[in-house]
Amino acid sequence: MALRDLLHVFVVDDMSTSRGLILQALDAFGISHVRHATDARSALAALSAKPAHLVISDYNMPEMDGLHLLRALRQDPKLKAIGFILITGKAERSIIETGQKLGMNNFIKKPFTPPDLQKCIEAVVGRL
């Protein structure tokens, strides 16, 4: 059985268009175990109830940004091992460095293509 058949991915993005593009790409990669949330707080609640292998999160979200979500995941013993990819339109050094200090596994800058996203994911979990 291929990794893509076993992998559980959770997508967090407040923008429906961006979230839709990520979900479409994951579907095209053959990843069928995908859940999503529109904000970090509901993502945390859903992940606490049922963890995933990988979180793909937007950086810029209201109330709780992607780095705050990452910090919360890394502080929870049940969720700290989840892979984390940050998606950002602003790949500023300070954002990336903070993400790396918090335990971010990878990041991708918007706009990106599906092949770019696949490479980013595979760098974290292995070949799909």
In this predicted structure, what is the pLDDT of residue 1? 82
Give me the mean pLDDT over the 17-46 stretch: 97
In the chain, where are the structural domains located? 3-123
- Give the whole-angstrom CA distance, residue 29 versus residue 79: 25
Indicate the average pLDDT of the chain.
96
What is the value of pTM for the model shown? 0.97
In this predicted structure, what is the pLDDT of residue 90? 83
In CATH terms, the fold of domain 3-123 is Rossmann fold (3.40.50)
Whether 114 has a pLDDT exceeding 90, the answer reads yes
Report phi then psi at 79, rounded to 5: -115, -5
First to last CA, the chain: 11
What is the pLDDT confidence band of residue 112, given thresholds at 50, 70 and 90?
A: very high
pLDDT (tens digit per residue) in 60-71: 999 999 999 999
